[in-house]
Amino acid sequence: MNLKDRLMSVLRHEEPDAIPITAYTILAPRGYKERQLRNIGLCLVDLSTPVYGFKTPNVTMETTEHVTSFSLDDRYSCVAQQKQVIDRTYNTPVGTIREKYKRGYALFEWPSEWAIKELRDYQTVKCIIDDTEYFPNCDDFSKVERIMGDDGVAAAMTPKSPLQSMLLDLMGYTRFSLDYRMHRAEFDDLYEVFRKKQLEMYRIVADSPAEIVLLDDNINGVVTSPKLFEDFCVPFYDEIADMLHAKGKILAVHLDGKLKCLRDLIARTKIDVVEAFTPPPIGDISIDEARATWKGKVLWTNFPATVSLEAQLDRVEREVVNILRSAAPGHDFALGITEDIGDIKSMRYLEVLETITKTVAKHGTYPIAKS
Amino acid sequence: MIPLLSTVPYGIRIAFDGFSVIDSRILESQVKRAMRAVSPQAGLAGEILERPILDRLRDSIVSIDFERVRKTCEEALTSGIPPTRVISEGMAPGMNIVGEKFQAGEYFIPDLIAAGAAMEEGLKILEPHLQKGEERKIGKIVLGTVEGDLHSIGKDIVSMLLRTAGFVVVDLGVDVSADRFVEAVRVERPRILGMSALVTITMPQMRNVIELLQETGLKGQLRVILGGAPVSNEFAETVGANAYAPDAVAGVNICKEWVARGDLQ
């Protein structure tokens, strides 16, 4: 099987010839090393290109970027230094809101000042959501699919579900926790506006050429409690899963945190793939337990970054073997690199990635013996 | 005295079960006056009458009822309970129960945050009534998320829980360099340094901070505790930290134990 077919066979619940090993393109090296890794089995997953576009006719956004150092000769060095602050102001017919982000590793942005700071900000955020108009925009996605060829897949990445977006992008943990208890009417009202708008987006995604839809939800059960997950996430996942399944799509959800308390609820959802599942020590469910609990779902497991970062290469190899044995015989199972394990240009990173890929190639032939 | 002590509190319990807060407060103050008039053991009588208020405050924290926390704090002051006692015997036990429920998987981070905020509401009412020097401060801790890591949630929750437990917290924020940690230790002279990391590749920064503390001779003056999802006990030992906290509540409990054992003297 080629790399793409191997991964797709797992995602379609078919038998692969071997366990797929994948890495997001942003976490894969470039050039000779990339080709070498692909040649020994590393399948690339591109998440860079959405299948929809959007416009906001009545809302404008101004962005200011603050950097700690700058050179006309090397304008982008500030990014590498991770001291970049992005200050965004949204002007809407009902008011203005402001948010600040810091840019971190791999250019990920982390909020340092949330958009919703006061109760009146709910109205402004609702106005922005209401004003958003989605439209199909699949040309670039199709180009990426062609570029990936048989060496990987392009997945349509979608933003966090409404609840997770409110928690992680719009108000932060403290405001979220307090407003959920003390301003429930406003909280629920915003959620509902958000939910309806995202469903408009998913209708477009469902009609797109993408076969895999990856919802970037970053769930951690310690924060998104079973009650929140059951009341908000489960019905939302099921609603979009019905929509996507009707058009033959596979719904994967990025669930990379501690999930033990959500274990049974996740089993009940209609999602197809638990993506970025992370076993202990970062996660709190073993692969055996996850496989037993989530029968019928694909477990796309993240290789734990703590092992990658700290361990000697022989321990990395042993860990890969242990994971593969836990997943034996290996149906509905893929292994992936879904979180930073260091500077992708460093020798250490390349050695770890090579060790993982080689070990999967050596021990991951399907079906895998349990011991 | 025995009949009085055994029957009157029982009557109060009945009243508390069946009456509104206002009714029970009137009854309580009347009974309190009557008891003080007839009993030389007014302190004991006071304790019997004050306990329900403190217990109600504890329960208000556990049930995260902001309004009830505010009202019960005011009621406690009106009843003459010293503010330090309201904190240590009412609100702090409530937060302890919240922490236990978190560790038992019954409460989650939003509950911890809300309970902490409810306690801070109560503290706003009580603090103006504390005598100078009476503030319940049990130790100073410097906290921060290490350089390169922009996550604040774990650190913020630890900070809030430490404050409600009576610590003075110097929160350096996120993306804190080793130099800034060491400078803060030099200036603030805390007994504990807490470092957090959520991004795996920033964990080595914890080692850098500890090494710099050792180089500057400051390590011996304080205890270092590490937290964050990718951090482990093994890692904490390797880099020379004194403790690793698997979660915020465990971290605060370790700090409280150090204080209780006198390890920070």
pLDDT reading at A105 higher than 70: no
Nearest CA in chain B to A281: B230
Q: Residue B200 is part of a domain; what is its CATH number?
A: 3.40.50.280
What is the rounded average pLDDT of the residues B148-166? 84
Percent of chain B at pLDDT > 90 equals 51
Rounded mean pLDDT of B140-145?
95
User: What's the pLDDT score for residue A142?
Assistant: 96
Banded model confidence at residue B11, pLDDT cuts 50, 70, 90: very low
Tell me, what's the pLDDT at B151? 78
Q: Chain A partners of B149 at a C-beta cutoff of 8 Å? A: 104
Which residue in this structure is represented by tokens 């602050």?
A: A85
Quick one: B228 and B110 in the same domain? no
How many structural domains comprise chain B? 2
The pLDDT, as a whole number, for residue B261 is 85
| Closest-approach residue (CA) in chain A for B118 | A178
Q: Are residues B62 and B162 in the same domain?
A: no
The pairing of beta strand A333-337 with beta strand A60-66: unpaired
User: Would the pLDDT of B18 be above 50?
Assistant: no
What are the pLDDT digits (tens) for A183-208? 999 999 999 999 999 999 999 999 99
Report helix angle B204-215 to B178-188, nearest 10. 40
User: Is 60 exceeded by the pLDDT of residue A350?
Assistant: yes
Q: Are residues B11 and B79 in the same domain?
A: yes
Q: Tell me, yes or no, whether B134 lies in a domain.
A: no
* A223: Cβ contacts below 8 Å, ≥ 6 apart: A167, A173, A257, B108, B109, B110, B153
Q: What is the pLDDT of residue B23?
A: 42
Q: Which residues of A touch B114 (CB under 8 A)?
A: 177-178, 181
Distant-in-sequence, close-in-space partners of B214: CB < 8 Å, separation ≥ 6: B240
- What's the confidence (pLDDT) of residue B15? 33
Confidence of residue A346 (pLDDT cuts 50, 70, 90): confident
ipTM of the complex: 0.88
Q: Range with the lowest mean pLDDT among A118-122, A287-291, B32-36, B129-133?
A: B32-36
pLDDT for position B142: 97
Q: How many Å lie between the alpha carbon of B246 and the closest alpha carbon of chain A?
A: 10
Is B175 a member of any domain? yes
- Per-residue pLDDT tens digits for A316-326: 999 999 999 99
Contact A104 B230 (CB under 8 A): no
Q: Does the beta-carbon distance from A110 to B200 stay under 8 Å?
A: no
- Per CB-CB distance under 8 Å, the chain B contacts of A226 are 108
B252 within a domain of the structure (yes/no): yes
What is the pLDDT, as a whole number, of residue A321?
Answer: 95
Do the strands A95-103 and A85-92 form a parallel or antiparallel pair, or are they unpaired?
antiparallel
Where in the sequence is the domain holding B194, given as residue range(s)?
139-260
Q: Are residues B68 and B111 in the same domain?
A: yes
| B40 and B153 fall within a common domain | no
Residues B248 and B190 in one domain: yes
- Does the pLDDT value for residue B28 go beyond 80? no
Which of residues B68, B100, B129 is at a domain's end?
B129
Query: What pLDDT was estimated at residue B175?
Result: 84
**Same domain for B253 and B149:** yes
Cα B244–A321–A371 angle (5° rounding)? Answer: 115
| Mean pLDDT for the stretch of residues B111-128 | 91
Q: What is the pLDDT of residue B2?
A: 33
Bond preceding residue A281 cis, omega within 30 of 0: yes
Q: Which residues of A269-296 are buried (b: 16+ CB within 10 A; e: fewer)?
A: bebbbbbbbbbebbbbbebeebbebbee
Q: Between helices A184-206 and A172-182, what is the axis angle to 10°?
A: 120
pLDDT band at residue B44, thresholds of 50, 70 and 90?
low
| Min Cα–Cα distance to chain B from A178, Å | 6
- Domain endpoint, select from B67, B102, B129: B129
Predicted confidence at residue B1, as pLDDT, reads 33
B244 shares its domain with B183: yes
| Domain CATH number, residue B59 | 1.10.1240.10
Domain boundary among B129, B152, B170: B129
**Per-residue model confidence (pLDDT) at position A254:** 97
Q: Most B CBs within 10 Å: which of A85, A168, A173, as the mutation test of the B interface?
A: A173
Q: How far are the Cα atoms of A128, A314, B228 from residue A305, in angstroms, in the given order?
A: 37, 15, 13
Residue B26 lies in a domain: yes
pLDDT at position B25: 46
Over the stretch B67-90, which tens digit does the pLDDT of each residue have?
Answer: 999 999 999 999 999 998 998 899
Do B159 and B63 share a domain, yes or no? no
B167 & B148 share domain: yes
**Chain A residues near residue B151 by CB distance under 8 angstroms:** 110
Domain co-membership, B117 together with B144? no
Q: How confident is the model at residue A280 (pLDDT cuts 50, 70, 90)?
A: confident
Most A CBs within 10 Å: which of B112, B120, B150, as the mutation test of the A interface?
A: B150
Chain B environment of A82 (Cβ under 8 Å): 148, 175
The answer to whether residues A22 and A335 touch, using CB atoms and an 8 Å cutoff, is yes
| Span A145-173, average pLDDT | 96
Q: What CATH fold (topology level) applies to the domain A3-56+132-363?
A: TIM Barrel (3.20.20)
**Does the beta carbon of A310 lie under 8 angstroms from any beta carbon of chain B?**
yes
pLDDT digits (tens, 9 = 90+) for B209-260: 999 999 999 999 899 999 988 888 888 999 999 999 988 889 999 999 999 8
Domain membership of residue B265 (yes or no) is: no
Predicted local confidence at residue A305, as pLDDT? 77
Say if residue B144 is in the same domain as residue B250.
Answer: yes
**pLDDT interval class at B188 (50, 70, 90):** very high
- Round to whole Å and give the CA distance between A278 and A299: 10
- Whether B195 shows a pLDDT value over 90: the answer reads yes
- Confidence class for position B3, pLDDT limits 50, 70, 90: very low
pLDDT at B21: 37
User: Chain B contacts of A306, Cβ < 8 Å?
Assistant: 200, 203, 230, 232, 235
